[in-house]
Amino acid sequence: MKKIRTPQEGAGAALSARSTATSNRTPQTPPEGVLSGFSASAEQFIAASQSAATKRAYASDLKHFFANGGAIPSSSAALAEYLARCAKKLSVATLERRLTAIHKAHLEKSLQSPARSETVKRVMQGIRRTLGTKQRQVQPMVKDDLLAALVMIDQQKKPVKTARDRALLLVGFASAMRRSELVAVRVEHLTHLPNGLEIFLPSSKTDQEAQGRTVFIPHANGERCPVRALAHWLEISGINEGFVFRAVSRHDRVARRGLSAQSVALVVKASVERVGGDAKKVSGHSLRAGYCTSAAEKGLQPWQIREQTGHKSDVTLAKYIRPVARRKIPSLL
């Protein structure tokens, strides 16, 4: 005779069956957002609140802090000692960024930040007063420097690399883009016009919300025209989609991957060395700095320069303009 289960027995059997089935499956690891108390969607938006470059910089700062005996949470005394030890080797700007990274790491875990303590504040004040806060400024690559470099670039025996380097320097100078913006340019971002070229920048260092902006490069005379140099590079390289500026092998072949920001610095340094200059004084930023300096020398107003560079205010721009203005002060004797 078939046994009839009571409701309680039936529920118990069902629960047992579900437990057995669950135990036979591989346990699922909850999403990181769930573990941290946020939904996966919220965690995605939190992660997108900072640029990839900022996250890499903060991760590097925390790694250095941990490698030197630091921990999260940290006491104000331990943080002050860390800053004091590093002050002998690192710049003030680097120390301030590391302090920010450690401060944010505490806040993200809802911990009291030692960076707010009076001890740490006084240590940083002492470091600033002792070592100063002046940041290293690279030498700008102004118009005459650029034209001299182009002459030497044309003497290379690799036509593809020559075309790439010429276009990179001319477009980098004329657009006044940051290195990260320059290497991120894609063919899809280019709009050719009768009087020049428009380049759309989807995002940049000062455009954290990715509103995007457009840079216009006008035609110039002869071989110094950045628009024609770029068109020649795209033609000789066969690039019709994806990244515009790419690596070129020693056999003068175009790679699939785009250039890194550091590669821009290497091209600039090599071009300066060819004309007998000091490569240590320049970097990839020298092209952008050169545009700002040259524009100020031509008498362009700060707001006009900012239209091209994307600077949010005149504060940063002033370090390029003020030296030019100083050199124009007439003698009172």
CA-wise closest residue to 67 among 55, 76, 59, 57: 59
List active site positions: 178, 205, 285, 288, 311, 320
Distance CA 184, CA 189 (A): 10
Beta bridge partner(s), residue 201:
213
10 Å Cβ neighbour count for 58?
18
Concatenate the DSSP letters of all residues of 84-127 into one string: HHHTTTS-HHHHHHHHHHHHHHHHHTT---GGGSHHHHHHHHHH
Helix axes 302-309, 314-327, angle to 10 degrees: 130
SS3 call for 276 = coil
Amino acid making up residue 103: H
